[in-house]
């Protein structure tokens, strides 16, 4: 996706804030990445930004083969980390401020094999300028 020059640095700041605040960067290092899926804007303001956060590292899920509900618990743990890390206000020009412009965090996909989640993907939805 092509992102206007004026938003590039601000988007990098948003991405870094989420990765650092969630502690996923220190937990997974290069195995976690965050990219822009959608940026709805005009020449003056931004209306929506959707980010995709993907963990490609191994997340242990002990006893998940015997108790599948544990898979949901582990995924919810990580979704909660991403949600809490993304709870900040974005104004219409994507500057981070105190408040809450996060519309939500969705689990998009995951791969599970032998008591390990090997890939977990979230979508993060922001409505810049709105305070929830």
Listed residue (84, 80, 75, 87) closest to 121, CA to CA: 75
Q: What is the mean pLDDT of each run of 10 residues along the chain (132 residues)?
A: 88 97 95 96 89 94 87 94 97 93 96 91 96 88
In 2-129, the DSSP E strands lie at: 32-41, 46-55, 59-60, 89-90, 96-97, 102-113, 116-126
Question: Quick one: pLDDT at residue 101?
Answer: 96
Task: Give the distance from CA 122 to its chain's centroid.
Answer: 6
**Nearest 5°: CA angle at 54, between 6 and 73?**
130
Report, in this order, helix, strand and coil percent for the chain, each rounded to 5.
Answer: 35, 35, 30
Domain boundaries, the chain: 5-126
- Output the CATH code of domain 5-126: 3.30.980
DSSP 3-state of 76 = helix
According to DSSP, the residues that pair with 36 across neighbouring strands are 51
Q: What is the pLDDT of residue 45?
A: 84
Residue 65 has what pLDDT? 85
How far is Cα 129 from Cα 70, in angstroms, rounded to an integer? 37
Between helices 69-85 and 5-22, what is the axis angle to 10°?
Answer: 130
Tokens of 43: 């020449």
Report d(CA 76, CA 107) in Å as an integer: 9
The pLDDT value given to residue 8: 93
User: Residue 104's pLDDT is what?
Assistant: 97
């Amino acid at each position: 996706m092509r992102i206007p020059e004026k938003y590039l640095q601000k988007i990098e700041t948003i991405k870094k804030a989420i990765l650092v605040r969630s502690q996923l960067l220190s937990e997974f290092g290069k195995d976690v990445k965050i990219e822009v899926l959608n940026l709805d804007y005009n020449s003056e303001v931004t209306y929506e930004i959707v980010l995709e956060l993907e963990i490609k590292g191994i997340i242990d899920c002990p006893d998940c083969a015997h108790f599948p509900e544990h898979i949901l618990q582990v995924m919810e743990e990580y979704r909660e980390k991403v949600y809490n890390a993304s709870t900040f206000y974005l104004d219409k020009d994507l500057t981070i401020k105190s408040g809450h412009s996060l519309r939500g965090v969705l689990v998009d996909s995951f791969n599970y094999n032998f008591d390990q989640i090997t890939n977990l993907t979230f979508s993060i939805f922001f409505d810049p300028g709105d305070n929830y």
